[in-house]
A and B are shown apart, each in its own frame.
Chain A
Amino acid sequence: MAQNLEKTLIMTAADPDNEATFREFRIPSTLRCCKEPETAILEELRRHQFAEDAIFAIKLALEEAMTNAVKHGNSNDQSKNVTVRYGINAEKAVVVVRDEGCGFCPEEIPDPTAPDRLPLPNGRGIMLMRAYMDDVHYRAGGCEVYFMKRNTR
């Protein structure tokens, strides 16, 4: 009974379709601090038996989103936080990463595969997220990125 109750709580605690139930990490803007939410999310994905290629994709997107939030959103300002929220069940994973920066317009990010941009070292993070996730969109004027990946098992 107690075990069932616990299971129910876990299942309803972070429903990917209901952001009000998401778990949340609030971390200072350092790349080192990004480890904690990443470890928690990966654990949750494994617990829900996500396929390895889906885990690979989510890990990649998470890394890109958190790096962008720390470096570009919060400009490495450690007095600002990055908030990572997530909801995961056996079917899909949703992660929302928010920074405290000024935002940006994702449509204005140039195509990194254009011949003149191909030799440039930056600007591929958002493209990779879009390629690997089933849904990526920016909210709150670009301060928040939402991404979703379906389990491919």
Chain B
Amino acid sequence: MPEEMPHLTVKKADTVNVVEFADRKILEELTIREIEEELFKLVASEKSIKLLLNFKNVEHLSSAALGMLINLGKQVDKQSGKLILSDIKPQIYEVFKITRLNKLFEIHDTASAAMARLQ
């Protein structure tokens, strides 16, 4: 029985863990800490995890959320896994561009494009 993850929906597509966020806003520290906990639990469950974070539901993102994603990326790297982000709304993508994190993360327009890279 998978553990309850109130902030995330996780579906397995072949070997890829496809994660969607339940929250429209990933802004507040408290929410971010809970999301971080859920994501790290998921990453810890599989050594070379293939992780696709689908941002289609997300409308707001703060710098603390970016920090959380950076830490997650580092952990995935440490486990020789792969992390890809997809379906980031233009308003949110702007946040990645301003901070140049679009250079740090692999980001695809659609989940299917991201899936193709992960499989």
Contact = CB atoms under 8 A, between A and B. Distances in A.
Interface of A is mostly: helix
Contacts of B71: 121
A78 B95 CA distance: 31
Given A32-B30, A59-B60, A118 B66 contact: no
A84 to B, nearest CB: 15
Categorize the interface residue count of chain B.
20 to 34
B99 interface: yes
A122 B29 contact: no
Interface residues of A, number: 24
A73 to B, nearest CB: 14
A128 interface: yes
Given A60-B60, A60-B62, A63-B28, A118 B103 contact: yes
B91 to A, nearest CB: 6
Interface string A36-60: 0000000000000000010010011
Contacts of B62: 60, 63-64, 67, 125, 128
A124 B70 CA distance: 12
Contacts of B91: 53, 56
Contacts of B10: none
Given A67-B64, A122-B67, A131 B29 contact: no
A121 B67 contact: yes
Given A53-B91, A120-B70, A31 B28 contact: yes
A127 interface: yes
A67 B65 CA distance: 12
A120 B56 CA distance: 25
A56 B99 contact: no
Contact of A127 (B60, B67, B99): B99
A128 B60 CA distance: 13
Interface in A1-60: 31-32, 34, 53, 56, 59-60
B27 A59 contact: yes
A113 B99 contact: yes
B100 A118 contact: yes
Contacts of A121: 66-68, 70-71
Interface of A: 31-32, 34, 53, 56, 59-60, 63-64, 67, 71, 112-113, 118-125, 127-128, 131
Given A31-B29, A53-B91, A123-B63, 4 more contacts: A56-B91, A121-B70, A124-B67, A128-B62
Interface of B: 27-30, 59-60, 62-64, 66-68, 70-71, 74, 91, 95, 98-101, 103-104
